[in-house]
Amino acid sequence: MSLRTNALAVAYDGKQVLHGMDFRVAEGEWCGLIGPNGAGKSTLLRAIAGLVPYTGDVAVADAAVATLDRRRLSQLVAYVPQRPTTPADMTVTEYVLLGRTPYVPYLGVEGAHDVTVARGVLARLDLAAFAHRGLGSLSGGELQRVVLGRALAQEAPVLLLDEPTSELDVGHQQQVLDLVDELRVERGITVVSAMHDLTLASEYARRLVLLHDGRAVATGTPAEVLTEANVSRFYDATVRVLRGDDGAVVVVPVRAERRAGGDG
């Protein structure tokens, strides 16, 4: 399902943190949001999820989000924050079932179908063996899969991920992102993720949007956006961008002195 914003702007306490964003993601596409801390990546995701007041328009599959109630919106858009709250003694099954909330009657409890969906998600993410474990007993990688499981149980065609792998080591980062990509292909999910690691972002996102001070300053394929000029200007960093023959982009931070050839 496609996603579109039009002149989207957000202000916190009178301070403008997002200026007139025009942003478009095609159905089934993975779009990566990159940019330095405070650029507005998280705010953009939260505005799309309807969690902060904004001006302008957000549309999911050509339906204006402003006309949808919260419940309907959460059937279309699943949002995973950077640091999800995971109550230590809640079981994996209980947590994943929370993802069914948009379908459960307001004062009711889950039905048989909801339990079936949650079971399916646990099986798909190889979590069946953990079903009755408390969240506090899981490792970082397992916990991230469980969090993803709750979002999948929402059965929303749009998945918003805020720094999904920031707490994981490199192996678990790849496993989680591979899983997201498999699910994207399998289920035709549209993915928008804020990412810190530029190399990883270029590996998984077909398209990148570089944000700076609440504005999109560059949009395009990873090769187009991740230039040494862009990264040094907007991240205030010194990097070398290596390009492989297969189109891969590798961003390597280097020390300024070495780059200048000071100590060889």
Positions that interact with other proteins (CB under 8 A): 13, 46, 49-51, 70-75, 78-79, 81, 84-91, 94-95, 98-99, 101-102, 104, 106-110, 134, 136-137, 154
Nearest Cα to 202, choosing from 235, 232, 169, 224? 224
Measured from the CB atom, is 107 or 112 closer to other proteins? Answer: 107
CB nearer to other proteins: give 132 or 244.
Answer: 132
Taking the complex as a whole, how short is the minimal distance between the CB of residue 46 and other proteins, in angstroms?
8
User: Shortest CA distance to 75 belongs to which of 187, 129, 175, 153?
Assistant: 153
205: left (phi over 0), alpha (psi -120 to 50) or beta: beta
Helix, strand, coil share of the chain (percent; to 5): 40, 25, 35
Q: In whole angstroms, how close is the CB of 146 to other proteins at the nearest point?
A: 12
Q: Please report how close the Cβ of residue 113 comes to other proteins at its closest, in angstroms.
A: 16
Measured from the CB atom, the residue of 60 and 200 that comes closer to other proteins is 60
Which residue, 70 or 186, has its beta carbon nearer to other proteins? 70
Cα dihedral 185, 72, 124, 142, rounded to 10, equals: 110
Return the DSSP state at 66.
Answer: G
Q: What's the closest the beta carbon of residue 101 comes to other proteins, in angstroms?
A: 4
Q: Which is nearer to other proteins, 75 or 232 (CB)?
A: 75
Q: If you ran DSSP here, which 8-state letter would residue 175 be given?
A: H
Q: How far is the CB of 164 from other proteins (least distance, A)?
A: 15
Nearer to other proteins, 101 or 238 (CB): 101
Q: What are phi and psi of 179, to 5 degrees?
A: -60, -45
Q: Which of 28, 76, 24, 23 is nearest to 49 (CA)?
A: 76
Distances (CA, A) of 178 to 185, 220, 243: 11, 22, 21
C-beta of residue 249 within 8 angstroms of C-beta of residue 199: yes
Q: Write down the least CB distance from residue 43 to other proteins, Å.
A: 13
